[in-house]
């Protein structure tokens, strides 16, 4: 099943953790697995659903715009389920 990136414009909340169990910060201070900052990782459990949704949508958008195909595919499956892939 394919999902169109336009799906990110829906009202569906993406609130689950984007963690990929890599948990290693790169030179920019971003997680190599999910793309969150150290602050976002540390404060994740304190964020509201709206804040989590905004972060997750930003992560997907950044992965799409930066052609980070592996990260995009991992995040997409995490949020939309196995057997799904972005177009």
Q: How many helices (H) and strands (E) does the chain have?
A: 3, 2
| Across 62-87, average pLDDT | 80
Q: From CA 81, how far away is CA 28, in angstroms rounded? A: 29
Extents of the domains making up the chain: 22-78
Q: From CA 35, how far away is CA 56, in angstroms rounded? A: 9
**CA 1 from chain center: how many Å?**
19
**This model's pTM is above 0.85:** no
3-state secondary structure at position 79 = helix
- Alpha carbon of 60 to those of 4, 38: distances in Å? 12, 17
**CA 62 from chain center: how many Å?**
9
pLDDT tens-digit map of 33-63: 899 999 999 999 999 999 999 999 999 888 8
């Amino acid at each position: 099943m394919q999902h169109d990136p336009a799906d990110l414009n829906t009202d569906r909340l993406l609130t689950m953790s984007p963690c990929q169990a890599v948990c290693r910060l790169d030179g920019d201070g971003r997680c190599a697995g999910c793309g969150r900052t150290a602050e976002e990782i540390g404060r994740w459990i304190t964020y509201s659903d709206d804040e989590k949704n905004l972060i997750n949508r930003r992560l997907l958008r950044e992965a799409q715009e930066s052609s980070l195909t592996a990260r995009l595919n991992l995040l997409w499956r995490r949020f939309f389920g196995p057997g799904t892939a972005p177009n």
